[in-house]
């Protein structure tokens, strides 16, 4: 099974982001997750053990709530184009991601590695160049810079034959 650790976006903001994702997605993108900011990328685990959950709980207790600042939009290109909303990297955010990654590595069978931690919220994905040029300016007009307090994180799971991720557990900060 795969799991990842993320900050889920507050409901009011998530509704707006989901609306943008639905409106500007292409046919290829299966929106498998609610709006989120990934802290630990997808990893393969054989099972969720009590030890893993306890280790994650312990790590979240030493980090207090902190502000998340959603900024301007950006993009990157791998095989396809991705449009996202930037998230300002604060010491609290980077520290939490680093510590959770260290903990997760002890339980993961395999894990995707970040080249560099670049927190963001995906708005549109799997775009070809024409779709990207059409959608980027339209999405840019809809994005508002704002902040919210992060006071919990979520562990999300996806079974091998499933299309969607499910929230398995949440952990309060502090």
Residue range 51-63: mean pLDDT, rounded: 95
Query: Residue 51: which CATH number?
Result: 3.90.1140.10
Question: Long-range contacts: 166-172, Cβ < 8 Å, 24+?
Answer: 167/8, 168/3, 168/48, 169/53, 169/56, 170/8, 171/56, 171/57, 171/60, 172/60
Predicted confidence band of residue 38 (pLDDT cuts 50, 70, 90): very high
Q: What is the pLDDT of residue 27?
A: 83
Q: Virtual CA dihedral for 135, 27, 30, 84, nearest 10 degrees?
A: -10
Read off the tokens for 13: 């903001």
Q: Please count the CA atoms within 13 angstroms of the CA of 11 that sit on its side-chain side.
A: 0
pLDDT tens-place string over residues 101-155:
999 999 989 987 777 899 999 999 999 999 999 999 999 999 999 999 999 999 9
Predicted confidence band of residue 41 (pLDDT cuts 50, 70, 90): very high
Read off the tokens for 168: 């398995």
pLDDT(90) > 90: yes
Q: What is the pLDDT of residue 30?
A: 84
Q: What's the structural domain count of the chain?
A: 1
Domain that holds residue 15: 2-172
Predicted structure pTM score: 0.93
- Of 37, 20, 42, which Cα lies nearest the Cα of 125? 20
Q: What is the pLDDT of residue 144?
A: 93
Q: What is the pLDDT of residue 161?
A: 84
pLDDT tens-place string over residues 58-72:
999 999 999 999 999
């Amino acid at each position: 099974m795969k799991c990842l650790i993320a900050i889920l976006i507050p409901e009011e903001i998530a509704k707006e982001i989901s609306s943008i994702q639905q409106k500007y997605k292409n046919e290829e993108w299966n929106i498998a997750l609610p709006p989120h900011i990934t802290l630990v990328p997808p990893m393969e685990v054989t099972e969720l053990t009590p030890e893993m959950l306890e280790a994650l709980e312990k790590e979240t207790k030493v980090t207090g709530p902190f502000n998340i600042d959603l900024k301007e939009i950006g993009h990157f290109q791998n095989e396809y184009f991705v449009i996202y909303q930037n998230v300002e990297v604060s010491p609290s955010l980077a520290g939490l991601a680093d510590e959770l990654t260290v903990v997760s590595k002890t339980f993961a069978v395999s894990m995707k590695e970040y080249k560099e931690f670049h927190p963001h919220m995906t708005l549109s994905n799997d775009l070809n160049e024409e779709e990207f040029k059409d959608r980027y300016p339209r999405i840019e007009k809809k994005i508002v810079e704002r902040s919210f307090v992060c006071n919990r994180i979520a562990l999300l799971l996806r079974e091998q034959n499933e299309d969607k991720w499910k929230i398995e557990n949440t952990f309060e900060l502090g």
